[in-house]
Structure 1
């Protein structure tokens, strides 16, 4: 059983300032994530912001305009900093607020920091231009950049005492991360293509006549683009159904946080399914009022019960 700490000793002004910086980064750059973590108590919310801010730094290195060899150097510097955090070598007066906040979060909660090493490995795959022949190949990447985040988050959330099946919580958190990442990949097909990146498996692209890629607002000539999208949507839905088994293992507010974040992505998936070619015209997103509605449903447990009923019906 994984058990997160619910309370903490008095936090110093320096650490609180570091957390405030991370929360500002989260609010400014991760609206979907921010909608979910606002449902958490303050210690968990701050810890999640620290995880996000460090992860954002790693992602920004990979997405930036630096030369590839410079990106590799910066990523290894981030790995070295992570090693210092793991070793307890980052003091409260360190000039890097993200490092200060993450170090405090790691002392407060049983966060498996090796997940951030996996994230660095995944971003290195991007820098090196890795492509994926099969879904099994792509899963390796998704586990690095998203499944690992699910497992890191579980270190903050913890599991409910006595929850049956709690030993499988990391597996479910990992699977839910895969579901979110595959949704991201579908949403960002054109943007990634314009940046020279292709994430969908080559064998899936070939199956639906889409190997030519996606650099414009219309699908490749003669392709079954809608068929490709619907195929990947079904795969994502299966991952969501499996990953949602995590929710009963969490306390109410942590479960609400996960349900809210996952619920936003499931609704994005619904929109993509209804109008597949929309992802070639621009980024599909949800308006703020709909995200707020999803957050309320997550807090009430409605989304979790809805998914559980659908899962039960499929099995029957």
Structure 2
């Protein structure tokens, strides 16, 4: 590996550690080559997402100047060129190298960039089905598909659970980040569900109606995690450890939301580093670990 790629993969790892700690901790359970590729996929998604959500944040290699629409289009073009021809930018060089080696379908990235562009136009979604199929298909489900070539599944049947896990992760983000999304002028909770419960996130206050709405959404979220569990048996041991750990850690955010009486307005709910370490060490101590879903948080057991 040349110096440019080594630097690029190092930067991808730093981006993942800074902004995607669950991905970072879970990937530590993979071998070095797989770990690099997880970080590369995450870094690409993070850079595109920041153009949309954090336009004032500067990243080396991301076009500066112009509107978010123009910057996203320019970054999409740089990405495509990096995959086909390589790049002088270390991060894009690493991303292109990873995608070529893994043979990841470029159609996945078309869906991803299309979804990122939607965030610049859409602020609400009428129903869960519209949100899932119109936006999360490209912003969440497709992330599971991007990761599959890295995880080296044992069967093509792993695709559907991987997509469910991508949806589950993003729905957890939506429930945790209601206040941040409001600050950006967006509401990712379906409008029909809000109306059905008489809940209004713009009040930024926990009411009986808000509790009912959040309880319903958390139940849906846990069903998605349960669908994702099926896929763990279709992964080799190292990948199962990685995905199982990430699933356990991310789903625990839901428990923290419940413990806070569904208050997602006063602060951002996180799983502490000590708890992440405990789950990581528990995973390493098991031969072939597999999460089991209880009434709330998944736990790691021996399959």
TM-score range, shorter chain: 0.7 to 0.9
Q: Which residue of 2 aligns with 1:33?
A: 23
Measure the CA separation in 1 of the matches of 2:68 and 2:263: 32
Q: Which residue of 2 aligns with 1:79?
A: 76
1:221-240 alignment to 2 at 5 Å? 223-240=208-225
Other-structure match for 2:9: 19
CA contact (8 A) 1:132 1:199 kept: yes
2:206 corresponds to 1:219? yes
TM-score (norm 2): 0.88
Q: Taking structure 1 as reference, are residues 48 and 109 closer, same or farther at Cα in structure 2, changes over 3 Å only?
A: same
Higher mean alpha-carbon deviation, 301-310 vs 27-36, is at 301-310
Cα separation, 2, equivalents of 1:260 and 1:33: 9
**Could you say which structure has the greater relative contact order, defined with CA pairs below 8 angstroms and 6 or more residues apart?**
1
For 2:71 and 2:287, locate their aligned partners in 1 and report how far apart those are by CA, in whole Å: 41
Q: 1 CA distance for matches of 2:12 and 2:124?
A: 32
The alpha-carbon deviation at position 244 of structure 1 amounts to 1.2
Q: Judging changes above 3 Å, is the alpha-carbon distance between structure 1 residues 181 and 68 closer, same or farther for their aligned structure 2 residues?
A: farther
Whole-angstrom CA distance in 2 between matches of 1:275 and 1:234: 16
Superposition CA RMSD, Å: 2.4
The farther-off stretch of 55-64 and 109-118 is 109-118
2:144 aligned with 1:150: yes
TM (normalized to structure 1)?
0.84
**1:89 counterpart residue number:** 85
Deviations 1:52-102 (A, max 9, x none): 11111100100134799711111112221232234x311xxx321111101
1:67-146 matched pairs, under 5 angstroms = 70-86=67-83, 88-90=84-86, 94-140=87-133, 141-146=135-140
2:248–2:291: 8 Å Cα contact kept in structure 1? no
1:46 alignment partner in structure 2: 36
Stretches of structure 2 that go unaligned for 5 or more consecutive residues are 57-63, 299-303
Residue 224 of structure 1 aligns to a residue whose secondary structure is: helix
**Cross-structure match for 1:278:** 263
Count of residue pairs the alignment pairs up: 288
